[in-house]
Amino acid sequence: MAITGVLKLKDENMRITSLMAALCVLVLAQPLLAQDWKEYENRVDRFTVPAPGEPKVEAIVWDSEYGAKFPGRVYRWQQARTSYSVTVIDYSDAERIHSEVNHIAYRGGPGYWTIDIMASIDYAATRYRQKPGVKVTYDAWQYIERVTGHGLQLINPDESRTHVGIYLHENRLYILDATAAKGEAPPIIFEQSFGFLDAEGKPVQYRSFYFNRLPAARLGRQ
Residue 154 burial class via C-beta count within 10 angstroms: exposed 0-12, middle 13-18, buried 19 and up: buried
Phi, psi of 29 (to 5 degrees): -80, -15
Q: What is the pLDDT of residues 196-220, one digit of tens each?
A: 999 999 999 999 999 999 998 887 5
What's the pLDDT at 187?
84
Q: Please, what's the b/e burial string for 94-124 (b: 16 or more CB within 10 A of its CB; e: otherwise)?
A: bbebbeebeeeebeeeebbbbbbbebbbebb
CB atoms within 10 A of CB 162: 21
Tens-digit pLDDT profile for residues 29-49: 444 444 589 999 999 999 999
Stated pTM of the model: 0.82
Sign of the torsion formed by the C-alpha atoms of 178, 37, 205 and 216:
negative
pLDDT of residue 106: 60
What distance separates the 2 farthest-apart alpha carbons in the chain?
Answer: 79
91-139 residue pLDDT tens:
999 998 988 887 666 654 557 899 999 999 999 999 999 999 999 999 9
Helix, coil or strand: residue 221: coil
